[in-house]
Structure 1
Amino acid sequence: MSIPATKVTPPLVDELDIVIPTIRNLDFLEQWRAFFQPYHLIIVQDGDPTKTIHVPEGFDYELYNRNDINRILGPKASCISFKDSACRCFGFLVSKKKYIFTIDDDCFVAKDPSGQEINALAQHINNLLTPSTPFFFNTLYDPYREGADFVRGYPFSLREGVTTAISHGLWLNIPDYDAPTQLVKPLERNSRYVDAVMTIPKGTLFPMCGMNLGFHRELIGPAMYFGLMGDGQPIGRYDDMWAGWCAKVICDHLGLGVKTGLPYIWHSKASNPFVNLKKEYKGIYWQEDIIPFFQSAVLSKEATTPQKCYVELSKLVKEKLGPIDPYFEKLASEMVTWIDCWDELNSATSKIDVVPKKTEAAPKKK
């Protein structure tokens, strides 16, 4: 008599949303079906809201377009970027789950050196559910991985670690380069798979990429605002980096951890470096002031929540970066608007209708 196989429930299946910004049909989901289908998807359609976006059958999803964003947020919709992947943060705003994984629609399943397909989502979940060590660097990288531990000389008082708020994944094939680097290295591809996860130390910033990213929404979600980018703005392609700089300062202040390394995804689309340069050139110039600003930013002891931290940070942005360009005064204002939206949509008494016009539930398995 054969014993029926036990069905294994994927981790965090009821506690995690997958957020995808897009302007095209989501055929790429077919490659991810085995890994993503058990989870709920929030799709944020950028660009023309009258365009029909095809989602493969069998996925449990909700789809929002610009009309939905305007309907739900009203005048406050000005804080959500248009014609830029920064629109993804609207998905973070309306999610009700504890965790978020976000991925771009030109990212596919990568393979490790043994040829095994990489379940990027599972690795992000593992990163988020194990502690980080931001206060003392472990030379064997993540000591919580199987086969690793704390090295000799690591203080025992710090071995408990802290809660991981952000899991930052990497990419094979097309690297996440800026336009000048793309121009001088047009044929460069990343084939180097490094089997490592590490905690980014406290006080150290990093360039966060939003195409393969997981985070603890309840702990750091209000800081995951991807700024004002794209249509009508003087800058683009700095949305995820802005969120990363803000979030890292706040994680350091609140005693939370950020991991980077595994998992890898396969990034298939090389964007046009000349188009990118037009979007990035002010950011490349401004970042020489922006990065020192974040390196020196100090939040008060009264800033005990990510919302309070973010509002304080917005005031510092207006004060310190505002003189560089009026854009930063506008950005600081919309940072506050973002927090207003977050608090309004995520309060227990919220009566705002966030139901999108397009939804589909995965068929129940018999």
Structure 2
Amino acid sequence: MAQLLSPPLKDDLDIVIPTIRNLDFLEMWRPFFQPYHLIIVQDGDPTKKIRVPEGFDYELYNRNDVNRVLGPKANCISFKDSACRCFGFLVSKKKYIFTIDDDCFVAKDPSGKEINALAQHIENLLAPSTPFFFNTLYDPFREGADFVRGYPFSLREGVPTAISHGLWLNIPDYDAPTQLVKPRERNTRYVDAVMAIPKGTLFPMCGMNLAFDRELIGPAMYFGLMGDGQPIGRYDDMWAGWCAKVICDHLKLGVKTGLPYIWHSKASNPFVNLKKEYKGIYWQEDIIPFFQNVVLPKECTTVQKCYIELSKQVKEKLGPLDPYFQKLGDAMLTWIEAWEDINSPAKTAPSQANGAKKDESSTKQK
């Protein structure tokens, strides 16, 4: 009898899901997700009971748990915004993270086959990236591809891949003004390609279908201060993407985008989105040039050092734009302090571990 293969990275990857509702969407993902451990971050009212389908291995954290685990540092975790997912990144003990939104379902490729998005992300992360010279056949490490004529042999080894950014069929990831002028537009284009984003090029990262190497870039995957009590929302994943990309460029790490696709099922309300986004729409005209011109000193040899330096520059150069950026810069530092506290080899964070077990068992009993 042939031996069944274990799912790839089964013991090395956590799936992080932010939610405010019952996770019935997991039924569709069961064939792909069930072997893996889930970290569910419940946003909003912590007294609301979230139902998780039977058979999944998971931890469920709510706002009370965030406050208990982080204490005074809990104010760096956003409330009433999907940015709360980064708490899951913080408490995970795995090398890799895959994060997905609860309105995302299994997509099909042009042949009608269901797409195992997690498997494709793993493939992306385990293969090198080539950010320093563009290969016109896109990812040279995919089956059936290679480096084209003229590609420098000295660069063909590539660099480690830190981030895999997936895409979406059906509902596009548009901002509110574009939603308003294209309310019925749907993405039906399936582009069978993965590419390394070149060094020095920023991109708008979407958190609904995203994987990363937590050991390589985890401390930079902070989704900022968004949502309740903040003047901005819906820029959480983009902020993390801009920060992470400049740090990846500095540390010679790769970022890939393209496959895999998921099916994005629900269009959010464009008028609600506009209220959340409108300051960001103005601010991004200053934020993006800031990131395009960021220079990290050579002394910044770790992600944490890079991020601390970046927080200082955010306060210095974006602070005059609005007091929010002073607050955000402080939160970035608090995030790094929390990261090092929770993930210090000398500290096992027993309160966090015990609380997670308690939450898991009590949830499964209900």
Match of 2:271 among 260, 270, 274: 274
Mapping for residues 77-156 of structure 1, pairs under 5 Å:
77-156=74-153
Off by >6 Å, runs of 4+ in structure 1 = none
Letter in 2 for 1:345: I
Mapping for residues 337-356 of structure 1, pairs under 5 Å:
337-352=334-349, 353-354=351-352, 355-356=355-356
Hey, what does 2:360 align to over in structure 1? 359
Calculate the TM-score normalised by the size of structure 2. Answer: 0.97
Task: Report the structure, 1 or 2, having the larger helix content.
Answer: 2
Alpha-carbon offset, residue 348 of structure 1: 1.2
Hey, what does 1:7 align to over in structure 2? 4
Hey, what does 1:180 align to over in structure 2? 177
Contact 1:108 1:267 in 2 (8 A): yes
Q: Distance in 2 between matches of 1:100 and 1:204?
A: 23
Cα distance 1:360–1:126, how it changes in 2: closer, same or farther (>3 A)? farther
Alpha-carbon offset, residue 360 of structure 1: 5.1
Hey, what does 2:284 align to over in structure 1? 287
Deviations 1:56-103 (A, max 9, x none): 000000000000000000010000000000000000000000000000
Q: Distance in 2 between matches of 1:360 and 1:324?
A: 47
Mapping for residues 3-42 of structure 1, pairs under 5 Å:
4-42=1-39
Contact 1:59 1:360 in 2 (8 A): no
Can you give the 5+ residue segments of structure 2 that lack an aligned partner in the other structure? none
Alpha-carbon offset, residue 349 of structure 1: 1.6
Deviations 1:242-277 (A, max 9, x none): 000000000000000000000000000100000000
Mapping for residues 173-252 of structure 1, pairs under 5 Å:
173-252=170-249
Mapping for residues 153-172 of structure 1, pairs under 5 Å:
153-172=150-169
Letter in 2 for 1:308: K
Cα distance 1:213–1:121, how it changes in 2: closer, same or farther (>3 A)? same
Hey, what does 1:298 align to over in structure 2? 295
Q: Distance in 2 between matches of 1:239 and 1:293?
A: 17
Letter in 2 for 1:62: E
Can you give the 5+ residue segments of structure 1 that lack an aligned partner in the other structure? none
Calculate the TM-score normalised by the size of structure 1. Answer: 0.97
Q: Distance in 1 between matches of 2:128 and 2:330?
A: 34
Deviates further, 108-117 or 346-355: 346-355
Alpha-carbon offset, residue 45 of structure 1: 0.2
Q: Distance in 2 between matches of 1:301 and 1:5?
A: 52
Contact 1:314 1:332 in 2 (8 A): yes
Q: Distance in 2 between matches of 1:70 and 1:351?
A: 18
Hey, what does 2:69 align to over in structure 1? 72
Identity among equivalent positions (%) equals 84
Alpha-carbon offset, residue 145 of structure 1: 0.2
Q: Distance in 2 between matches of 1:141 and 1:358?
A: 44
